[in-house]
A and B are shown apart, each in its own frame.
Chain A
Amino acid sequence: MKATSSRWIFRLAGLLVVLAIGAALLGPPLMQKRTERRVRTLLLVVQEGLQRYHVKEELYPKRMMTGRELIQLLRDGGHLETPPANPWSGRLYADGAEDDWLRYRTDSLAETYELSVLVPGTEEVEFRLDSTKNQSLE
């Protein structure tokens, strides 16, 4: 009886290890996909705010900015009603020192915009939404 129960404990422990391997395989790409969806939502919200800014000011913001700076600018101008969620922290964009991999750029005449999202911790661009070549996320 004791031998049987210890045998089943061994088997169940082994099964848990197998399940853990499965979770380890699926976990990272799943988290990546979740972040990717949040990034897409963020880009759409910021892009719409930028378009509103452009309608009012007739130009896009003139300097390079981080996501936090851009969102603050758009909020101050009334082009964003509520601050979007930060895809990397899950919290609302605020002044804190949380991860922010969104970058904004414009040309010398501020007639075009480029929103890029970097792979965290690198300078590699993961997503790009702009007014010239990459005009949609589809």
Chain B
Amino acid sequence: MIEALGIGGSRGRFPPIKALLQLYRLGLLLAIAWLVRSHQDRLRVQGDWPVTVAEVKVFLKEAYRLRVDPGPRSGLEVIDANGLKIGYALRTMPESREITGYSGPSDVLVVFDARDQGVGIAIRHSYDTPSHVVDVRRDFLFVEKWNGRPWEGIAKITDLGDAGIYGVSGATRTSEAVANSITHRLAVAEGRAGVGRKISLGWRDAALAGFLGLGCLFAFWKAKSFQRWRWLYSIATIAGLGLWLGDLIAQSLLVGWVESRVPWEAAPGTVLLVGAAFLVPWFTGQPVYCQFICPHGNLQRWTMKALPARWKRPLPEDGKWIARWVPVMLLAVVLGVSFLRLDLDLAGIEPFDAYLLKGAGLATIVVALSGIAISLWFPMVYCKFGCPTGWLLEFVRRRTGRDRFSDRDWMGLGLLAIAIGFYLAPLDWFLG
């Protein structure tokens, strides 16, 4: 199989299996996206103080592992050694951070059995007065009041007294805050479950679909009478898609979507553009976004014409070999920023935000201007050797003619290995 894929040392000796390679490339990007998403779900649900199996075992003895539930409840499914779901656990923070006792809020663990009946609560950490927190912890009457109550029943509690839940003597405010944190957290989860999403189409989406449609036409309809207008379309992408709409595909956008979700109902035009940018080259081999639609690519094409051809310099082979690592390095940085939630604006590693003019940061402007300046002498140098987004789009593009497992595929595998490393390693390894 490996030889058939062309992975072995004898390059090209065996016929490449193009379909498998194409599946590998798309699958690899999807696998990285899944790892990023799953990690973000874990961080979102678990926060800075992850719930451990040991904490849950106190209430569900059979607990073996916890599985993050990215759904509206945003908690943890409790799984036993046989892989069966035996309960559900959640923490009240950060949703209940505004509910304070004497001097601060408390993070409470709430555990349910498989039928969504409460089996126990525990104060995990508290900003409240320590002695009051101890009082609440020791008051079994208060702590066990939650046992046997159904999830929906707790979520509906608006008056603790009516529900038979009374404050702990000497720590009334702390205990009431704990109780309110629990009811609030469950009610928030219930509320989230009821939120529906409706698609909203606007002029912006129509404009993006128009740019995409025209880009595809220029990519596939090679009639001379039509192609002679490409210069006009090129200027329109710079002015319209870039400076006016500012809807360029960038790492900051892709990472945001992968980390949270694709906003198909709020920005259907952008979703369509991004989807097409990946899938059209994957199916057809035509790099429609990079070669026709991308405003920065089109701007570089215009700058190519600014200097006479004799001033242009081809990049030496060794220079090309080194430069090919630049977008891969930037993608590795993107993974690091996402997995470790580092405070580095990803817009700054690409030139695309510079088209927003007003809101553009210094880094993105420097990247944009220097890329354009260098492309005066080395045509399209940013697109070829600097653009991490372009690298991803090129990675999935179907190659014409023979195909084999190339350096680019190895680099992709390296990125997957980095993502797996970040996913599996405890955050403390990196963050101390």
Determine the interface band of chain A, counting residues with CB < 8 A from chain B.
Answer: 20 to 34
Q: Is A1 an interface residue (CB 8 A)?
A: no
Q: Is B417 an interface residue (CB 8 A)?
A: no
Does B344 lie within 8 Å of A25, measured CB to CB?
A: yes
Min CB distance, A41 to chain B, in Å?
10
Q: Is A32 an interface residue (CB 8 A)?
A: yes
Does B105 lie within 8 Å of A18, measured CB to CB?
A: no
Which residues from B are CB-within-8-Å of A30? 336, 340, 342, 430-431
- Binary A-proximity of B90-131 (CB < 8 A = 1, otherwise 0): 000110010010011101000000000000000001011111
Does B431 lie within 8 Å of A33, measured CB to CB?
A: yes
Min CB distance, B143 to chain A, in Å?
21
Determine the interface band of chain B, counting residues with CB < 8 A from chain A.
Answer: 35 or more
Q: From known contacts A11-B321, A51-B103, infer whether A33 and B340 are also in contact, taking CB-CB under 8 Å.
A: yes
* Listed stretches A64-72, A99-107, A116-124, A130-138; interface member: A130-138
Q: From known contacts A138-B94, A138-B97, infer whether A33 and B103 are also in contact, taking CB-CB under 8 Å.
A: no
Closest to B326 in A: A18
Does A52 lie within 8 Å of B322, measured CB to CB?
A: no
Does A21 lie within 8 Å of B329, measured CB to CB?
A: yes
Q: From known contacts A51-B103, A52-B130, A136-B105, infer whether A26 and B318 are also in contact, taking CB-CB under 8 Å.
A: no
Question: Which residues between 24 and 82 of chain A lie within 8 Å of chain B, taking CB atoms?
Answer: 25-26, 29-30, 32-34, 37-38, 40, 44, 47-48, 51-52, 54-55
* Residue from B97, B318, B325 within 8 A of A136 (CB atoms): B97
Number of A-B residue pairs, CB cutoff 8 Å, is: 91
Does A34 lie within 8 Å of B432, measured CB to CB?
A: yes
Q: Is A91 an interface residue (CB 8 A)?
A: no
Does B322 lie within 8 Å of A26, measured CB to CB?
A: no
CA distance A55 to B405 in the complex (A): 68
* Residue from A29, A40, A136 within 8 A of B104 (CB atoms): A136
Does A33 lie within 8 Å of B127, measured CB to CB?
A: no
CA distance A20 to B337 in the complex (A): 16
CA distance A26 to B346 in the complex (A): 11
* 10 CB < 8 A contacts A-B: A14-B319, A15-B325, A18-B325, A22-B329, A26-B344, A29-B344, A37-B48, A48-B130, A55-B131, A138-B47
Q: Contact residues of B with A, CB < 8 Å?
A: 47-48, 93-94, 97, 100, 103-105, 107, 125, 127-131, 318-319, 321-322, 325-326, 329-330, 332-333, 336-337, 340-344, 349, 430-432
